[in-house]
Chains A and B, each alone.
Chain A
Amino acid sequence: MDSSANEPKELIIVQNISFSYGYTDVLTDVTFSINSGDFLAVIGPNGSGKTTLIKIILGLLKPNQGGIRIMGKPLDEFTDWSSLGYVPQKATHIDPFFPVSVKEVVHMGLLSSRKFPRFSKKEEELSAHRALTHVGMERFKNWRIGNLSGGQQQRVFIARAIVNQPDILFLDEPTTGVDAETQEHFYDMLDKLNKKEGITIVLITHDYGVVNKHVTQVACLNQRLVYHGSHEEFCRSEAFKEILAEGHHMISHRH
C-alpha cells in the first residue's frame, strides 16, 4: 500500500497478449495498463477470456504472444509476489470438508512473503488479525472454513489475499453464489480497501450492473479488448450501446 500513490503510475502493463487453447483463440492482441489506485472491472460475456487474462498477468498461464510487465519488471523477472493478492474464481467451490480453520486459511497468504529468517510469529498473528478485522471476520477465526456461508468464505479469501498488504488485488467473480444484500456489503468493503487503503483492485465480473457504481475503470473483453477507459466514458461509448443492444446477458447474467 503506497501512500504516495496520488499520481497514478503504471503498476501493470499488458502488451499485445494473445492466447489460445489448442485451435481456439481466447485472447487476441490485448494491450492495456492498470494504474495504481484504479478500481478496474474486467467485463465480458462467458468465454471472453477474462479469467485467462488474469491468469496470464499472474503468471499462471503462458501467453502465445506478448508480454506482461509488473511494477516495471518483465513477468519472468518479477519476484515480489506478496505485493499481489489473488482471490481465484473457484474459491466458492472449495472442498467444504477440508479441515482448515479461518485462521489457517489467512496464514496461507503469509507464505509468499515468508523468507528466512521468517517473520516473527507475533507479527504474522498481527497481520492475520488485521486482515480478518478488515473483512469483519475476526470473530470467526477458529471456525472451520466449510461451516461458513459463501459470502463469509469469500471475505476470508479476501483476508488471505490482503494479509501481506498488497499493492494490487485481483478478484475473479468473487460474488458468485452470494445473495444480493451480501454482495452490496462486499463491494462496499472493496471500495474501502480501494479508497482508504489505496489498494488497486482488478475485478472480473459479468454483473456490471451491480459493480458499476464502485468502479473507476472498465476493460471490456470479447477475445479482443473492446473497450478500456473510465466508467463515465464507457457509459457513453459505442461498446456500451452494443452491449445494451445485445441484451441482458452481459450486464446481468444472474438468474
Chain B
Amino acid sequence: MKMEAFLSYGFLQRALLAGVFVAIACALLGVFLILKRDAMIGHGLAHVTFAGVALGLLLNIMPLAMALAIAVLTALGIMKLKETAGLYGDTAIAIFSSVGFALGILLVTLAHSFNVDLFGYLFGEILAINTSEVWLSVVLALIVVLIVILNYHKFMYVTFDREAAKASGIKVGHLDVALTVLTAVTIVLGMKVVGILLVSALVVIPAAAGLQLAANFKQAIVLSSIVAVISVVLGLFLAFYFDFPASGSIVILSFLFFGFSFLFKRLRR
C-alpha cells in the first residue's frame, strides 16, 4: 500500500527516474576514477560547476546546461594542465576547484541569487526536479552508461595497464578525453540529485563499496551500480516518509553500504 502511495506522486516518479539513471552513471565512472587514483576529480569539478550554475542564474540561461558546458571545459583543462604543465597529481584539481567556487560566489552576488534556488544546487533538490531536467538527466545518463559499457574492456585495460594498452594499438588519448568528458557530465547530473557539496560522494562511495567485494572487474561494476541504485531509492523513500533531506539520506545510506562491505570483506578472511 505504502509503495503505491510512494509511486503515485509525480514528483517522486521524476525523482526516482532521474535518480536511478544518474546513480548508475556515477557508480560506473566512480569505479574507473578510484582505480585511476583520481577520486577527487569529482569533488573538484563539482565546485567548478557552482560557477556554471551561478553564470546560468546571472544570464538567465538554464543553469544545468551552463554547468554542463563549464564542467566539461574545466575537466579538459585540468587534463591538459596535468599532462603539459607537470603539476603534481591533484594540484590542478585544487586550483581549478577553488577558483571555480570563488568565481561562483562572485557571480551569484552579481546575480543577487543568494536564495532558495542556490541552496537547491548546493544541497540537492531532486524532489523538486522538473520534467525537462528529468529528461535531460535520463538521456545524458543513458548516453554515459552506454559509452562506458560499449568501451568497457578498453577503459579497463587502460586503467589497469596503460603502457601495455598503448602498445597494443589502443587509442589511449581518445579514451582519456572520453572519460574526462563523461566524468564532467556525470558530476553535473549528480549535482541535480545530491547537490554540489555531496556529488563526489555519489561518485566515490558506491564504487568504493563495490570495489571492496568484487573478485573481478565485472563484479565491481555491477555491485557498485546496485549500491548506488539502492541508496538513491531508499534515500528518496526516507525523504518521503520521514521528511529527511533526500541528498543527505542517499549519501549516508551509501556510506552504510560501504561500511557493511568493508566489514564483510574483513570478516570473510
Please determine whether B167 and A81 come into contact, CB atoms closer than 8 angstroms: yes
Tell yes or no: B169 within 8 A of A by CB. Answer: yes
Tell yes or no: A144 within 8 A of B by CB. Answer: yes
Please determine whether A99 and B163 come into contact, CB atoms closer than 8 angstroms: no
Chain B, 5-35, CB within 8 A of any chain A CB = 35
- Could you say which residues of chain B place their CB within 8 Å of the CB of A99? 211, 214-217, 219-220
- Distance of A50 Cα from B160 Cα, bound (Å): 24
Please determine whether A100 and B167 come into contact, CB atoms closer than 8 angstroms: no
- Distance of A87 Cα from B161 Cα, bound (Å): 10
One of B84-92, B117-125, B151-159 at the interface: B151-159
- Could you say which residues of chain A place their CB within 8 Å of the CB of B165? 108, 111
Please determine whether A112 and B170 come into contact, CB atoms closer than 8 angstroms: yes
Please determine whether B160 and A111 come into contact, CB atoms closer than 8 angstroms: no
Tell yes or no: A58 within 8 A of B by CB. Answer: yes
Please determine whether B153 and A81 come into contact, CB atoms closer than 8 angstroms: no
Please determine whether A95 and B35 come into contact, CB atoms closer than 8 angstroms: yes
Contacting residue for B167 out of A79, A84, A105, CB 8 A = A84
Please determine whether A59 and B216 come into contact, CB atoms closer than 8 angstroms: no
Please determine whether B217 and A111 come into contact, CB atoms closer than 8 angstroms: no
* Binary contact readout A79-90 vs B (1 if CB under 8 angstroms, 0 otherwise): 101101011101
Looking at B35, B211, B216, which has the most chain A CB atoms within 10 Å of its CB?
B216
Q: How large is the interface on A (under 10, 10 to 19, 20 to 34, 35 or more residues)?
A: 20 to 34
- Distance of A109 Cα from B161 Cα, bound (Å): 11
- Could you say which residues of chain A place their CB within 8 Å of the CB of B220? 99
Q: Given A88-B161, A98-B35, A111-B157, answer yes or no on A104-B166 (Cβ-Cβ < 8 Å).
A: no
* Binary contact readout B198-215 vs A (1 if CB under 8 angstroms, 0 otherwise): 000000000000010011
- Min CB distance A143 to B, Å, is 9
Please determine whether B167 and A111 come into contact, CB atoms closer than 8 angstroms: no
- Min CB distance B155 to A, Å, is 11
Tell yes or no: B164 within 8 A of A by CB. Answer: yes
CB-based A-B contact count at 8 angstroms: 78
* Binary contact readout A108-139 vs B (1 if CB under 8 angstroms, 0 otherwise): 11011000000000000000000000000000
Please determine whether B169 and A100 come into contact, CB atoms closer than 8 angstroms: no
- Could you say which residues of chain B place their CB within 8 Å of the CB of A97? 211
Chain B, 63-80, CB within 8 A of any chain A CB = none
- Could you say which residues of chain B place their CB within 8 Å of the CB of A60? 163, 166-167
Please determine whether A109 and B156 come into contact, CB atoms closer than 8 angstroms: no
Please determine whether B164 and A104 come into contact, CB atoms closer than 8 angstroms: no
- Distance of A108 Cα from B153 Cα, bound (Å): 7
Chain A, 66-98, CB within 8 A of any chain B CB = 79, 81-82, 84, 86-88, 90-91, 94-95, 97-98
Closest to A147 in B: B215
- Distance of A105 Cα from B164 Cα, bound (Å): 11
Closest to B154 in A: A111
Tell yes or no: B60 within 8 A of A by CB. Answer: no
Interface set of B (CB-CB < 8 Å, partner A): 35, 153-154, 156-157, 160-161, 163-170, 211, 214-220
- Ordered by A's residue number, 22 sampled pairs between the chains whose C-beta atoms are within 8 Å are A59-B167, A60-B166, A81-B167, A82-B168, A82-B169, A84-B168, A86-B163, A87-B164, A88-B164, A90-B163, A95-B35, A99-B211, A99-B215, A100-B216, A100-B217, A108-B157, A108-B161, A108-B164, A109-B168, A111-B165, A142-B216, A144-B215
Interface set of A (CB-CB < 8 Å, partner B): 58-60, 79, 81-82, 84, 86-88, 90-91, 94-95, 97-101, 103-105, 107-109, 111-112, 142, 144, 157, 160-161
